[in-house]
Amino acid sequence: MPDSRFQIDADIRKASTPPSRVYTDPAIYAAGRERIFAGSWQLVGDAEQVRVPGQVHPFTLLEGCLDEALLLTRDDRDGLHCLSNVCTHRGNLVCEHGGVESALRCRYHGRRFGLNGSFVSMPEFDGVENFPSAADNLPRLPLERWGPFLFTSVKPSIPFGDWIGPMRKRIEWYPVDRCKLDATRSRDYLVQANWALYCENYLEGFHIPFVHSGLSDALDYGSYRTELFDHSSVQVGIARGGGDVLSPPSASPDHGKSIAGYYFWLFPNTIFNIYPWGISVNIVKPLGVDRTRVSFLSYVLDSSKLERGAGAELDRVEREDEAIVEAVQKGLRSRLYERGRYSPTRETGTHHFHRMLAEFLA
Ligand code: FES
Ligand SMILES: [Fe+2]
């Protein structure tokens, strides 16, 4: 059994990066799926998916990783619910297609549930003791909201407010409620690398001048900085020269700065890039020890500002990042590499992430 335990010194000047087995060993990947992802908060979509009362939307939470069959519903009192989509009788999937329903009925033996998940009826169960009980309702998961975004967690390891709070507060002036999904600008990327390599690359701007020549022109590298929170971090990109920028109001700690973009990362795999044109959401979805799907969702606020500044050419930047993390994945298989060291000025976000990885995998 490979050891998933490792130490990352709290002092970045003394610390070494995680051992390469963390990114290459299938058993450590599997341990991370349960210890990191099963307790995490995940974006499940937005309220538009269940727009009218009676609407149901089955989906798989983190397909290829958690594979949890869930169901979003809007009941006839306009309440939103996130339910387990697994029938409490013998485990069939209750709802296979989205649509508008007055109730849920399992097609295996006819058990019925309300749209809030409560058990309603079951044929041929007369005389069954202690039935129905609370265990016969569909398990209900927490459903939380920020702007148009809905989040859930199978068994939350931290309170939602602690997780999202620092980002929500930092940009409380940003009109997140007005951002609308543009499916034509959204796409998935398949990356031949471990999910954590994708995140740790995202978490440092150190590589921007080396890897992203185009993006480098839009950002002032000298004033680029990272701030750390308990379960998240933000990189603040200051614009170089003019163009579209975010101008935070006087109550904001960023007042007076020309912000090209805020790059928020929330443990373990949720990314909100906040630009003048809107929000580029990136969900980093593990598929295997060296395979990752990254879903890009574009929530547009002002389409006249698309394709300008640091939020332009996201596809090019993504391909540049993919090429580099895929090369790192190959490098980590070497017998001649084990761990590296950190830049104390440029890799604080990555070090912070690695500390969390070490804590959850221990
Ligand atoms: S599994 Fe659903 S009614 Fe039997
Ligand atoms: Fe990058």
Q: What is the mean pLDDT of the chain?
A: 96
Contacts 24+ apart (CB under 8 A), 19-22: 19/338, 19/339, 20/332, 20/333, 20/334, 20/337, 20/338, 20/339, 22/194, 22/196, 22/357, 22/361
Q: Which atom of ligand 1 is nearest to the CA of 91?
A: 1
Distance 18 CA to ligand 1 centre (A): 46
Beta partners for residue 234, in sequence order: 227, 264
Q: Give how far Cα 16 sits from Cα of 11, 286, 358, Å.
A: 10, 24, 12
Q: What is the pTM of this model?
A: 0.96
Task: Report the nearest-CA residue for atom 1 of ligand 1.
Answer: 90
* Mean pLDDT score, 114-136: 98
Say what the pLDDT of residue 234 is.
98
Distance 101 CA to ligand 1 centre (A): 18
Q: Which residues contact 58 (CB under 8 A, 6 or more apart)?
A: 69, 70, 71, 72, 85, 93, 95, 96, 97, 98
**Confidence category of residue 1, pLDDT binned at 50, 70, 90:** low
The predicted-structure confidence for 54-110, as pLDDT tens digits, reads as follows: 999 999 999 999 999 999 999 999 999 999 999 999 999 999 999 999 999 999 999
Distance 61 CA to ligand 1 centre (A): 22
Q: Which residues contact 7 (CB under 8 A, 6 or more apart)?
A: 358
Residue 136, number of CB atoms within 10 A of its CB: 19
Q: Which residues contact 47 (CB under 8 A, 6 or more apart)?
A: 80, 145, 148, 150
The predicted-structure confidence for 198-243, as pLDDT tens digits, reads as follows: 999 999 999 999 999 888 888 999 999 999 999 999 999 999 987 8
Closest to 71 measured CA to CA, from 98, 37, 106: 98
C-alpha to C-alpha distance for 113 and 97, rounded to whole angstroms: 16
- Cβ of 125 below 6 Å from ligand 1: no
- Cβ of 95 below 6 Å from ligand 1: no
